[in-house]
Structure 1
Amino acid sequence: MVANNIKTVRNDMKTLVKDAQDLLREASLASGDKADEMRARGLAMLETAMDKAHELQALALEKGKAAAHTTDEFVHEHPWKAVGIAAGIGLVLGMLISRR
């Protein structure tokens, strides 16, 4: 569910930014009241994109804190398993690095 929310927000942001860029390009070619209206709409779209970015950032921060809390609980409940897992990951990473 979280992955869907993140993808949706990311796609919405890309669409908003692209639309705002297109609108601002058109506004640069136009003049007068129409250009002012287009610029205002473009700025509103960019503001919406920023709001979506802040929403995505808050969601990522929340999920990161939850993952850190879960990991902390696991390490406190199973310290030797955690040491073994860390050693195994270190061994695999060491082997991969030494190959290069």
Structure 2
Amino acid sequence: MTRKTAQTTQEILMADFQTLVNDTERLLAHTSSLAGEQADELREQIRESLLKARETLQLTEASLRDRGQAAVEATEAYVQAKPWQSIGIAAGIGFIVGLLATRR
């Protein structure tokens, strides 16, 4: 479920940035021919898209930070509850990484 939520958030973020890029490209293409109210309207649309993208980015950052903190706390609790198993797991992972590193 967490992976699905992260994927959905990433898709929303990418869509917001794509909209921002499209609006910016439109502004650049039309800047020379637009005057007054039309240019102001397009700039306002771009500003709104940028604000929305920033908000989504901040929400994503907060979500990732919270999940990272939860993972750290869960890992610490596991290591404190089962120190010998943790050492065994770490040694096993180190052994596998060492094998993979020497193959190359």
**What TM-score comes out, normalization by structure 1 length?**
0.84
- Unaligned 5+ segments in structure 2 are none
Q: Please give the alpha-carbon distance, in whole angstroms, between the structure 1 residues aligned to 2:77 and 2:92.
A: 20
Are 2:87 and 1:83 aligned? Answer: yes
Note the C-alpha offset of 1:51.
Answer: 0.8
The answer to whether the 8 Å contact 1:13/1:53 transfers is no
Identity of aligned residues (%): 28
**Greater RCO (CA < 8 Å, at least 6 residues apart):** 2
The answer to whether the 8 Å contact 1:24/1:39 transfers is yes
Match of 2:54 in 1: 50
List aligned pairs for 1:1-100, cutoff 5 A: 1=1, 2-33=5-36, 34-100=38-104
**What TM-score comes out, normalization by structure 2 length?**
0.81
Q: Please give the alpha-carbon distance, in whole angstroms, between the structure 1 residues aligned to 2:62 and 2:85.
A: 32
Give CA-to-partner distance per residue, 1:1-49, whole Å, 9 cap, x none: 3334423433433343233334423442432120121012111111110
The alignment covers a number of residue pairs equal to 100
Note the C-alpha offset of 1:96.
Answer: 0.9
- Unaligned 5+ segments in structure 1 are none
Where does structure 1 differ by over 4 angstroms across 4 or more consecutive aligned residues?
none
Instruction: Name which of structure 1's ranges 83-92 and 32-41 shifts more when overlaid on structure 2.
Output: 32-41
